[in-house]
Amino acid sequence: MLLKSSLSLAAAALLAAPVAHAQSAAQPLQFEVKEGNNLNSFYRQGPVAAHLLLRSGLDPRILVAFPAGNSGVGLWFDHLGQSATWRMVTPPTAQTVEDAKGRKLYGITATAEITAPALQVKQAVLSSVRVLRDYQSDGIKTPEVDTLPVIKGQTLLWQRDRLDGAPGYRLAVTVVQGSLAMGRITAGADGRITLRIEAQSGETPLTPLQGDALLSPKANRDPAARNTLSFLSYREKFMAGSWRFNTYFGRDTMMSLSLLMPALQPEAIEGGLRSVIARLSPQGEAAHEEGIGEFAVLDHLRHHQPLSGAPDYDYAMIDSSYMLAPLVERYMLDGPSGLARAKAFLAAPSGKAGDSSETAGAALMRNLRFVLSTTQPFVQTPAVAHLLAIKDGRPTGEWRDSNTGLGLGRYPYDVNAALAPAALRAIQRLTASGVLTPYMTGEDKAAFAKAGAAADIWASKAPGFFDVTVPAAQAKADITAYAAELKVPSQAALKAVNGQPVRYHALSLNADGSPVRMVNSDPGFDLMFGHPAPALLDRDVTAMMRPFPAGLMTDIGLLVANAVYGTPEDKSRFTQSAYHGLVVWSWQQALLAGGLDRQLKRTDLPPKVRADLVADRKTLWTAIEAHRDMASSELWSWAFENGHYKVVAFGAGAGDADESNAAQLWSSAYLGLTPPTR
């Protein structure tokens, strides 16, 4: 948005001065994360929770995201001729202001400096974070939320109500050092610009879940992971990640609880479970993402409905629905709280908005019935056509939720080979425990009694459809050619294959049942939730842990996909710039680490398999600990320089599909994991 001269002083009287309010005496949560070009400052105290992001480089921006209402404000500047760098002068502190109607807006103020001769305002966006991220990643503008600035002296101010008239958003940028004219900020004589940033949201603050209510004494002493988890944890729900996913995501919540369970207090686990159960569809599907705040208002508006902030829920993902039963089973039957507390939890209200009569147990039954009914066709006829497919008309359906994340496949490995059998096995155990009895009908009892047999069929039959074998000569040629293409060494990879055929599980299957030939990290789900035969367990872990490009292991961590044995089209889709390509996701390493721990507790492993798993666990943790500073981030990419793999922040490259969250919920999973002793 270019500033017009007629706006410079018009309505200057609307420039609101901050109203001082007493702050809580409690110590604020405050920490900083530097990731590539992004300087991230997190602040939380009382009703204020905010993430300030300063983007350096050729395309500078200021962005503040609030967990309250998944709201945010952002200011983008024009492309620069040379790279500029932000520096935090004064870190964020709480600031509450009142709008023209006397309503409180909660947020922060901070002072920052950038080394640039000038900054030209390009666009400001004040709305839901989902609107901000659409603009950031795809340049999509939302005309309904366009906000013109007011200029008064050295201050630019954007503020407006939410579209439905609820308290809205405010962003004020004051030039402390430099000068402002017509939306152009010019540096002082020393070539620097100093700005005071004030950002607020009127969305209803959330209630922090922190301290002894969040972490158990068993949690690891990992300051970065503790900061991340604390910032993203609230009594109402857990946030998936900041800045881009500052709200509830079902999959992220459930996977995080599964990995973090040893480190969490029962109150925190039950709060997370309740948030999932409360958002189940009438059919029992688990919600993926919620649309709240102004995003919900916009959605209702576009569907010609009355203006309302009533939440919308997205049920497009299929994996989330098969994660709830294993999580409930693990907490209620294997967790520290005991059966009495589990029964009390199920008997309490589900937490569903507007319905205090439904119990958590009754709501949970909807999901368990959904699992049983959707897995029944494969039980009757174990064929590809009866596997669980992503929904029609969608390219995504599980955690690899970028458009090419499944390699354009329709049947995901993780859902079919790991999560579906795990959900059925959980139903079997929950039924046998008796905790479900008060909520079961006679029809339920007959159906649920068959869950164990159904789990056996899924566990024995489904993985085989994903088997891929690469002949020895072809594997050698593929590894050699791909290493040359990427300019990485091949010697260790070829040595690991040792002239033998390569076997692994495909990432997904196409509609005709043919495999998407991608070595991938998703067998970690089977290690975490399943009980694979020892030989299959050894094969899957070996396939992942081979040095790249034969497998997934690099100096900077475990990649989540590798198209070495795929088609040229696969290789073009799964690059270092692809969101689910040749990149490292922190939580996938945690998933494998937790899965290896779980499998090593078995008593039926042959000595060689056990020794292999122990060695692989050590290798994995060596990579994790070597890049502990990245562990709480969402993902990262790499470059190969001077004979070594080097971490590159995802989003730093011009061709990167998006940028990484500096704080990611499931990346805090290391609080519940214990590295091997040396």
Answer yes or no: is 129 within a domain: yes
Lowest-confidence pick of 4-18, 215-229, 390-404: 4-18
398 phi, psi to nearest 5 deg:
-150, -160
Pair 541, 621 in one domain: yes
- pLDDT of 15 over the 50 cut: no
Residue owning tokens 């070595």: 519
Q: For the chain, what is the largest distance between any 2 Cα atoms, rounded to a whole number of angstroms? A: 81
Answer yes or no: is 677 within a domain: no
Answer yes or no: is 19 within a domain: no
Q: Please provide the average confidence, as pLDDT, over all residues in the chain.
A: 93
Pair 449, 489 in one domain: no
Three-state DSSP state, 521: coil
Answer yes or no: is 22 within a domain: no
Range of the domain at 412: 214-227+234-461
Q: Percentage of the chain surpassing pLDDT 70?
A: 95
pLDDT at 8: 32
- pLDDT of 509 over the 70 cut: yes
At 658, is the pLDDT very low, low, confident or very high (cuts 50, 70, 90)? low
Number of domains in the chain: 3
- pLDDT of 653 over the 80 cut: no
Pair 99, 243 in one domain: no
Pair 367, 276 in one domain: yes
Pair 554, 405 in one domain: no
Q: How far is CA 90 from the centre of its chain?
A: 29
At 257-313, the pLDDT tens digits run 999 999 999 999 999 999 999 999 999 999 999 999 999 999 999 999 999 999 999
**Chain length of the chain:** 678
At 554-564, the pLDDT tens digits run 999 999 999 99
- pLDDT of 400 over the 50 cut: yes
CA–CA distances in Å: residue 311 to residues 130, 289, 300, 366:
14, 10, 10, 21
Element holding 137 (H helix, E strand): helix 129-138
Pair 573, 494 in one domain: yes
More confident residue, 569 or 658: 569
Please check whether residue 465 is in contact with residue 507, taking contact to mean a CB–CB distance below 8 angstroms: no
Query: Integer distance in angstroms from the first to the last C-alpha of the chain?
Result: 57
Three-state DSSP state, 241: strand
Pair 423, 471 in one domain: no
- pLDDT of 238 over the 70 cut: yes
Please check whether residue 360 is in contact with residue 345, taking contact to mean a CB–CB distance below 8 angstroms: yes
* Helices first, then strands: H and E counts in the chain: 19, 30
pLDDT at 22: 33
pLDDT at 120: 97
Answer yes or no: is 120 within a domain: yes
Q: From CA 624, how far away is CA 591, in angstroms rounded?
A: 12
Question: Which residues, 6+ apart, have CB-to-CB distance to 3 below 8 Å?
Answer: 121, 149, 151, 156, 182, 183
Answer yes or no: is 429 within a domain: yes
Please check whether residue 19 is in contact with residue 98, taking contact to mean a CB–CB distance below 8 angstroms: yes
Please check whether residue 529 is in contact with residue 519, taking contact to mean a CB–CB distance below 8 angstroms: no
pLDDT at 655: 61
Question: Which residues, 6+ apart, have CB-to-CB distance to 95 below 8 Å?
Answer: 18, 48, 107, 108, 109, 198, 200
pLDDT at 24: 42
Q: From CA 405, how far away is CA 139, in angstroms rounded?
A: 22
Q: From CA 166, how far away is CA 291, in angstroms rounded?
A: 16
Domain end, chosen from 444, 461, 478, is at: 461
Answer yes or no: is 152 within a domain: yes
Domain end, chosen from 432, 461, 490, is at: 461
pLDDT at 27: 87
Q: Give the number of other CB atoms < 10 A from CB of residue 179.
A: 13
Pair 411, 475 in one domain: no
At 148-187, the pLDDT tens digits run 999 999 999 999 999 999 999 999 999 999 999 988 999 9
Q: 3-state SS string over 412-481?
A: EHHHHHHHHHHHHHHHHHHHHHCCCHHHCCHHHHHHHCCHHHHHHHHHHHCHHHHEEEECHHHHHHHHHH
Answer yes or no: is 605 within a domain: yes
- pLDDT of 506 over the 50 cut: yes
- The pTM is what? 0.93
- pLDDT of 21 over the 50 cut: no
pLDDT at 372: 98
* Burial class of 499 by CB neighbour count within 10 A (0 to 12, 13 to 18, 19+): exposed
Q: From CA 642, how far away is CA 487, in angstroms rounded?
A: 11
Domain end, chosen from 461, 479, 501, is at: 461
At 83-125, the pLDDT tens digits run 999 999 999 999 999 999 999 999 999 999 999 999 999 999 9
The two beta strands, 312-313 and 71-77, are unpaired
More confident residue, 315 or 652: 315
Question: Which residues, 6+ apart, have CB-to-CB distance to 481 below 8 Å?
Answer: none
Q: From CA 674, how far away is CA 285, in angstroms rounded?
A: 33
Q: From CA 257, how far away is CA 418, in angstroms rounded?
A: 17
pLDDT at 67: 98
pLDDT at 90: 98
Averaged pLDDT for residues 437-444 = 95
Three-state DSSP state, 61: strand
Please check whether residue 430 is in contact with residue 444, taking contact to mean a CB–CB distance below 8 angstroms: no
Pair 329, 280 in one domain: yes
Pair 621, 657 in one domain: yes
Averaged pLDDT for residues 402-430 = 97
Pair 363, 428 in one domain: yes
Q: Percentage of the chain surpassing pLDDT 90?
A: 90
- pLDDT of 205 over the 50 cut: yes
Pair 115, 257 in one domain: no
CA–CA distances in Å: residue 337 to residues 215, 340, 487, 500, 674:
14, 8, 52, 48, 21
pLDDT at 28: 94
pLDDT at 337: 83
Please check whether residue 668 is in contact with residue 229, taking contact to mean a CB–CB distance below 8 angstroms: yes
pLDDT at 16: 38
